[in-house]
Structure 1
Amino acid sequence: MSNTRQLKVIVTGASGMVGEGVMHECLQHPQVEEVLVINRRPSGIVHPKLKEIVHQDFFNLTPIADQLRDYDACYFCLGVSSVGMAQQQYYRLTYTLTMHVAETLSRRNSNMIFCYISGAGTDSSEQGRSAWARVKGKTENDLLKLPFKKVYAFRPGFIKPTKGLKHAHTFYRYINWLFPIGRALFPSGFCTLAELGRAMINITLYGYGRQIIEGKDIIALAGTPL
């Protein structure tokens, strides 16, 4: 199936590993004509497709809201680890912040595709023992209720960073050797950051039959054979 549509997309979290990788794929893709990133500090990246808004308070988007209209997709890659973080703070930075951004965008872009980076092990029932998984599950569930054209929750497991980018976590230097083994034994749990970015673009262009996107779905959407 061909689709020559040109996309205007928003990427959040471009100062982190996942957001940077998704932004990179968008900038390289011939069918993405504009990429807007919203960062708390300048990225230093210059590209003909790239627009950047520097904004400190993601809990108050009112000052920049009018600049967020008429976009086809948002690839929401902001996220924090729950390790060592108080549960209330994790809830605020994971659920409250995400919902505020999403609600702001949905009011201005009724035809937008919203792609949320969640994580493997997310608890859709919101009843399990793991606090982070419950919070992620609640976030997914409430995003799905918003008046977007479509919402997709991506649940990657191990993500292999894209070589040459700046924001890969340092521990990946020591565990990247696991990727080919894990991919062979447990393919649904191992994807590359490039595949994740391509999967988001393709789901925006072509849609998909499920809204919860697991590891195998990411690989399939990226067009990568297992």
Structure 2
Amino acid sequence: MSTKIRAVITGATGMVGEGVLQVCLQNPQVEAVLIINRKPAGISHPKLKEIIHTDFYDLSPIASQLSGYNACFFCLGISSVGLDADAYYKTTYTLTTHVGSLLSGLNPDMTFCYISGAGTDSSEQGRSRWARVKGKTENDLMKLPFKQVYAVRPGFIKPIPGQTRVNRWYKYINWMFPIGRSLFPGGFCRVQELAGAMIYVTGHPYEHKILEGKDIIKLAAMENAGE
């Protein structure tokens, strides 16, 4: 019997989070979704509950509302472009591990899926600052007492048609997707595949805890096939 999923989704006002939320709301395996936002997402659905909370570095005021979930799809993130090192570290590492620490204490049966990125540095020793910080975030999340933690590393992500929270430059490069997918199949995935892979591993433990592009596509196909 398939695992019924009760998911917490962060970053629902961003492109990836919005797409993952749309997929989850349409997937019959997902029975409830909680989104935590600084501002309303403007979405209404029978499965959906939204908490407006401005300080993601202190979730203690809403902690009583965060139990009873068995998945977290962590889609909140920022680009390192234009940010100084301290600001990027605080938003990427400190915020993420705070949320993870709280959720793991409340929901030990939870599968935590962290949207990281292709090229992340698990060694934490490489030359790229963003890759080191992402790697440290992945590594320390995996030390938390969750049932499972997966670091999800997509490359280029194609949004769902009709999404409203898409960077304007995507309309100029979306045409590249079929070409890129053909030449570098692991480097290009659809939001539907990203969400499908996370839904799948919540109910079906996977041998690799770091999900690269090819893993994402493979697991999404297994989810679609009902395996």
Deviation at 1:188, TM superposition (A): 0.4
Deviation at 1:43, TM superposition (A): 1.1
Aligned position for 2:55: 57
What is the aligned-residue RMSD (CA, Å)? 1.0
Q: Which amino acid letter does the alignment assign opposite residue 178 of structure 2?
A: P
1:83-138: CA deviations, max 9, x gaps?
01001100000000000000000110000000000000000000000000000000
Counterpart secondary structure, 2:68: coil
Aligned position for 2:101: 103
Identity %: 64
Q: Which amino acid letter does the alignment assign opposite residue 197 of structure 2?
A: A
Partner Cα separation in structure 2 for residue 87 and residue 215 of structure 1: 27
Deviation at 1:5, TM superposition (A): 2.5
Of 136, 139, 163, the residue aligned with 1:138 is: 136
Aligned position for 1:195: 193
1:13-64: CA deviations, max 9, x gaps?
0000001111111000001000000000111101010000000000000100
Partner Cα separation in structure 1 for residue 73 and residue 57 of structure 2: 18
1:117-162: CA deviations, max 9, x gaps?
0000000000000000000000000001000000000000000011
Deviation at 1:81, TM superposition (A): 0.3
Q: Which amino acid letter does the alignment assign opposite residue 17 of structure 1?
A: M
Aligned position for 1:117: 115
Deviation at 1:65, TM superposition (A): 0.3
Q: Which amino acid letter does the alignment assign opposite residue 218 of structure 2?
A: A
Alignment of 1:124-203 (within 5 A): 124-203=122-201
1:34 aligns with 2:32: yes
Q: Which amino acid letter does the alignment assign opposite residue 134 of structure 2?
A: K
TM-score, length-normalised on structure 1? 0.97
1:75 aligns with 2:68: no
Partner Cα separation in structure 2 for residue 206 and residue 180 of structure 1: 29
Aligned position for 1:215: 213
Number of residue pairs matched by the alignment = 223
Partner Cα separation in structure 2 for residue 159 and residue 126 of structure 1: 24
Partner Cα separation in structure 1 for residue 89 and residue 179 of structure 2: 34
Partner Cα separation in structure 2 for residue 58 and residue 5 of structure 1: 29
Q: Which stretches in structure 1 are left out of the alignment for 5+ residues?
A: none
Partner Cα separation in structure 2 for residue 108 and residue 41 of structure 1: 24
Counterpart secondary structure, 1:223: helix
1:150-195: CA deviations, max 9, x gaps?
0000000000011111111111100001100000000000000111
Partner Cα separation in structure 2 for residue 7 and residue 135 of structure 1: 30
TM-score, length-normalised on structure 2? 0.97
Deviation at 1:206, TM superposition (A): 1.2
Partner Cα separation in structure 1 for residue 204 and residue 168 of structure 2: 35
Deviation at 1:9, TM superposition (A): 0.5
Deviation at 1:4, TM superposition (A): 2.6
Of 14, 21, 24, the residue aligned with 2:22 is: 24
Q: Which amino acid letter does the alignment assign opposite residue 76 of structure 2?
A: L
Partner Cα separation in structure 2 for residue 125 and residue 4 of structure 1: 35
Partner Cα separation in structure 1 for residue 179 and residue 74 of structure 2: 29
